[in-house]
Structure 1
Amino acid sequence: MEQQSAEHKYNKWIVAISIIIPVAVAVLFSVKLKDFGIEVTPLNFLPPIYATINGITAVVLIAGVISIKNGNQKRHQQLMTTAIALSLSFLVMYIAYHMTAVSAVFGDANHDGLLDLNEKATVGWTRGLYLFILLTHIVLSIIIVPLVLVTYVRALAQRFDRHRKIARITFPIWLYVAVTGVVVYLMIAPYYV
């Protein structure tokens, strides 16, 4: 019963954070510091760093699953905490980049921010693939926030039966988000200014 109340204690926070993060990202994504008279150098060096962080997150997630399957609960906990920290650092860098730089457009070879007919023809079907991967990445990155938080809280509350049930859902979605973060970067990288 005490474990159940510990889990319920965090529910309001999980709901709040699960709403605040995507709303804040959406708002901050559209905010450009230069629009407020703040002159900053675009943080164009960040995308390869946060893509690497996504890749490391994927490796850490897999290592965490291997650890728990091998019975190493302590190592599993450390790795999952590390994965959360990596995801948070990704988020901060992602927002910082988009607040200081012009977003790249897939296929925009001349970097004018527009996709003309020749550029569209050049990238062909890969643009549709890119947009599909990007859209699923974004949607699942919103869904993963409450899943990670609930999964983590259930472990903290030592509700391991409930933790395992949701972790079976959380893990593949989180892994997909981490891996597609790298894929999206690799696909859009040629079009960065």
Structure 2
Amino acid sequence: MSKIENLDAEKKYNKWIVVLSVVIPLAVAALFGIKLPNVEPLTFLPPIYASINAITAVLLISAYWAIINKKPLLHERLIKVAIFFSVAFLVMYVAYHMTSDSTKYGGEGVLKYIYYIILITHILLSIIIIPFVLITYVRAITKNFERHKKIARITFPLWLYVAISGVMVYIMISPYYN
């Protein structure tokens, strides 16, 4: 494909990237406010979705290693699995919050500030990362590898931070779960 054909192929996905980048955070926010009555709280989910975040971090680091070592097929497969795990995390996270009350952080002092800094940056970057992941993925599947590489340099550390900070938030709040 020529550069122009790559860009044309990429443009076909732009509408979906915009729609998903807006709809996903709005849907999560809306669903977060809904409590399902007469449904058993899914209190077993937080350690599972924290583990999924940890696995996602390992997958991302492995995908980075794969591409550095010229293993593009392995890189592609690892990224697809990382995307799947990120979606699974999101589904479980929403399901937990639709069936369970939010847990309040009970720590004090400097740890409380550290927790809230990690939590707030995690939440904000988890919203921001959506279009980055989608654009990076589209640039790869449309074989626009130069543009893919440019945005991947931004996407990778942001996505890795979201995955690792999700684990950190869980570890810090887990003593306060009911």
Q: TM-score w.r.t. structure 1 length? A: 0.89
Structural mapping, 1:38-187, within 5 Å: 39-107=38-106, 123-187=108-172
The corresponding residue for 2:8 is: 5
Percent identical pairs in the alignment equals 58
Runs of 4+ in 1 over 3 A off after TM superposition: none
SS at match of 2:102: coil
Which of residues 10, 17, 29 in structure 2 aligns to 1:14?
Answer: 17
5+ long unaligned stretches in structure 1 = 108-121
Which of residues 28, 32, 36 in structure 1 aligns to 2:31?
Answer: 28
| Code of the aligned partner of 1:146 | P
Give the superposition deviation at 1:135. 0.1
1-structure distance, mates of 2:177, 2:111: 17
1-structure distance, mates of 2:110, 2:66: 40
| Code of the aligned partner of 1:140 | L
SS at match of 1:123: coil
Summarize deviations over 1:71-97 as a string: whole Å, max 9, x none. Answer: 000000000000000000000000000
Summarize deviations over 1:33-68 as a string: whole Å, max 9, x none. Answer: 12xxxx111000000000000000000000000000
SS at match of 2:47: helix
Summarize deviations over 1:133-162 as a string: whole Å, max 9, x none. Answer: 000000000000000000000000000000
1-structure distance, mates of 2:35, 2:110: 31
2-structure distance, mates of 1:60, 1:149: 17
Give the superposition deviation at 1:166. 0.1
2-structure distance, mates of 1:40, 1:30: 15
| Code of the aligned partner of 2:29 | A
2-structure distance, mates of 1:2, 1:124: 56
Give the superposition deviation at 1:3. 1.6
SS at match of 1:176: helix
5+ long unaligned stretches in structure 2 = none
Please provide the CA RMSD for this pair. Answer: 0.7
Aligned residues: 175
